[in-house]
């Protein structure tokens, strides 16, 4: 047991043993193992994912040696899936790896049930028609899906799952609720046993900062009609009151209290986001409800102050609900319920549109806003053109700019295709610049390693979020603009 802990020490500090265990149980399917797919899988193999299956029906060509580090000169002419799988296996022998020499498009058409065996599918370099079909297949099988594609100096990543619930959302900025402005009875009683004016300097220095804030807030309220500091001047006065309580300049507990004084002024109650989740129709649970919604149903019925009391009450209610809906009362572990209680104020529910719905019926106001907004117009232009090149390919059996001597004609064809696409979406005229259209043709559907590595890094990060159920996955389509070195999310 010591070896894995040493091996994965750095990541264990981020997502813990529970997150790592989820990774080690996960089975990942990769469609197409060009540089984008290989870079995505490389990060997951190094992270200790349970098993990988590489699907690719192509052979290694000389051109692959310039952008894919998972093949070498001896690989030329051999199965790309086999070679990439072997190289990935060398990175971490604890990961089970296998490959299938078949084109993903054929598998999507002829054997859709194949994908139901996986925890998550990473689909790279697919054209729009195959993406739409795979999206429906994975949704029906309840398999998580991530699309990733690099195309010259641009690329995208998009998560596609019906619903994803997050307990450990780990927001960058979050105000802890220490109940400093409304202490529960036990905390209040404990604070009353401590004298802030104690003569012993050692005891004074070791009074917990939370107790200092509770007592000072109570003292303030007594002289201000029961209210706490609210204006800028009042907050400043409250900090001065804390500072005046210091006996010596090296009292770290008082410094902590001054730095954390803003927590006293925090509004009471739960956030609007959490209120919306609690009011969600999914809290009306049945035998098909996920563990998340069963625990949410329990939380909806009670919201108490003490963490341990919360846990015991929630645990009992969870058991009762599970029994009522005909499931094992012990079907949700104590560890899971404790984590749920601990993070109850940070819960997140992510829902993603079906890809076909986004493609055929995007939000027109949002679409027009992105196209005309100077900050988003290039990212939106790439989004439209990435879709347009797939239409182009369907019509002309090649990507624009893929063959020498056809550049001028391809530029004209791509522009016409893009204008037609925009018209179908309800946008008349083409706000796309000539330069951007020219660039897309110049890319010639190439996968540049630097771009593929970046897109693969983003995709693998989202895979880890989905599998560990920690942090919040991206919502919308992530577009990378390698020309201006910008990354943006488009919500359509």
Nearest to 34 by CA among 123, 114, 133, 144: 123
Burial class (CB in 10 A: 0-12, 13-18, 19+), 445: middle
Phi, psi of 41 (to 5 degrees): -70, -35
- Check residue 279 and report its DSSP letter: T
CA distances from 264 to 38, 186, 190, 220 (A): 50, 18, 18, 11
**Does residue 219 contact residue 243 with C-beta atoms inside 8 Å?**
no
**pLDDT given for residue 305 in this prediction:** 42
**pLDDT given for residue 331 in this prediction:** 94
Higher pLDDT, 298 or 117: 117
**pLDDT given for residue 303 in this prediction:** 36
CA angle at residue 121 from 118 to 123, to 5 degrees? 155
The H or E element that residue 489 is part of is strand 486-490
**Dist. CA 382–CA 150, nearest whole Å:** 11
**3-state DSSP assignment of residue 7:** helix
Number of H-type helices and E-type strands within the chain: 21, 10
Domains of the chain (ranges; CATH) run 2-162+449-490 (3.40.50.720), 185-263 (no CATH), 272-350 (no CATH), 360-443 (no CATH)
pLDDT in tens, 145-188: 999 999 999 999 999 999 999 998 988 776 666 667 778 788 88
E-only strand ranges, 227-367: 348-351
pLDDT in tens, 111-127: 999 999 999 999 999 99
Ranges 122-136, 312-326, 445-459: which has the least confidence: 312-326
**Does residue 35 contact residue 453 with C-beta atoms inside 8 Å?**
yes
**Does residue 382 contact residue 479 with C-beta atoms inside 8 Å?**
yes
**pLDDT given for residue 307 in this prediction:** 63
- Check residue 248 and report its DSSP letter: S
**Dist. CA 139–CA 75, nearest whole Å:** 36
């Amino acid at each position: 047991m010591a070896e894995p802990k040493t091996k994965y020490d750095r990541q264990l500090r981020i997502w813990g043993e529970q997150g790592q265990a989820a990774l080690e149980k996960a089975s990942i399917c990769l469609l197409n193992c060009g540089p984008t797919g290989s870079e995505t899988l490389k990060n997951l193999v190094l992270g200790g994912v349970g098993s990988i299956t590489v699907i690719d029906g192509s052979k290694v060509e000389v051109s692959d040696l310039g952008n894919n580090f998972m093949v070498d000169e001896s690989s030329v002419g051999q199965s790309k899936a086999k070679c990439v799988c072997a190289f990935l296996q060398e990175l971490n022998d604890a990961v089970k790896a296998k490959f299938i020499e078949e084109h993903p498009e054929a598998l999507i058409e002829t054997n859709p049930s194949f994908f139901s065996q996986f925890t998550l599918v990473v689909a790279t370099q697919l054209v729009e028609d195959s993406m739409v079909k795979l999206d429906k297949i994975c949704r029906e099988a309840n398999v998580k899906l991530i699309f990733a594609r690099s195309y010259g100096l641009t690329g995208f990543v998009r998560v596609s799952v019906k619903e994803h619930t997050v307990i450990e959302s780990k927001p960058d900025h979050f105000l802890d609720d220490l109940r400093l402005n409304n202490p529960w009875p036990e905390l209040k009683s404990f604070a009353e046993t401590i004298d802030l004016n104690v003569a012993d300097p050692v005891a004074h220095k070791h009074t917990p900062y939370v107790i200092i804030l509770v007592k000072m807030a109570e003292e303030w309220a007594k002289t201000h009609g029961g209210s706490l500091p609210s204006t800028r001047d009042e907050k400043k006065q409250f900090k001065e009151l804390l500072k005046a309580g210091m006996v010596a300049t090296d009292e770290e507990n008082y410094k902590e209290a001054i730095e954390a004084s803003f927590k006293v002024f925090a509004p009471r109650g739960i956030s609007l986001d959490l209120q919306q989740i609690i009011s969600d129709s999914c809290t009306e649970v049945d035998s098909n409800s996920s563990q998340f919604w069963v625990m949410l149903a329990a939380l909806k019925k009670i919201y108490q102050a003490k963490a341990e009391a919360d846990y015991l009450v929630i645990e009992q209610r969870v058991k009762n609900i599970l029994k009522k809906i005909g499931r094992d009362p012990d079907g949700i572990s104590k560890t899971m319920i404790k984590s749920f209680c601990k993070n109850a104020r940070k819960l997140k529910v992510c829902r993603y549109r079906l890809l076909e719905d986004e493609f055929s019926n995007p939000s027109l106001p949002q679409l027009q806003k992105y196209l005309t907004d100077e900050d988003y117009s290039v990212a939106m232009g790439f989004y439209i053109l990435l879709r347009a090149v797939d239409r182009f390919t369907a019509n002309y059996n090649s990507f624009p700019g893929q063959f020498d001597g056809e550049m001028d004609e391809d530029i004209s064809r791509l522009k016409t295709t893009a204008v037609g696409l925009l018209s179908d979406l309800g946008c008349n005229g083409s706000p796309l610049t000539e330069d951007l259209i020219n660039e897309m043709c110049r890319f010639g559907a190439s996968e540049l390693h630097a771009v593929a590595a970046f897109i693969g890094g983003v995709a693998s990060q989202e895979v880890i979020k989905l599998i560990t159920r920690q942090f919040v996955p991206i919502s919308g389509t992530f577009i990378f603009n390698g020309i201006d070195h910008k990354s943006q999310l488009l919500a359509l």
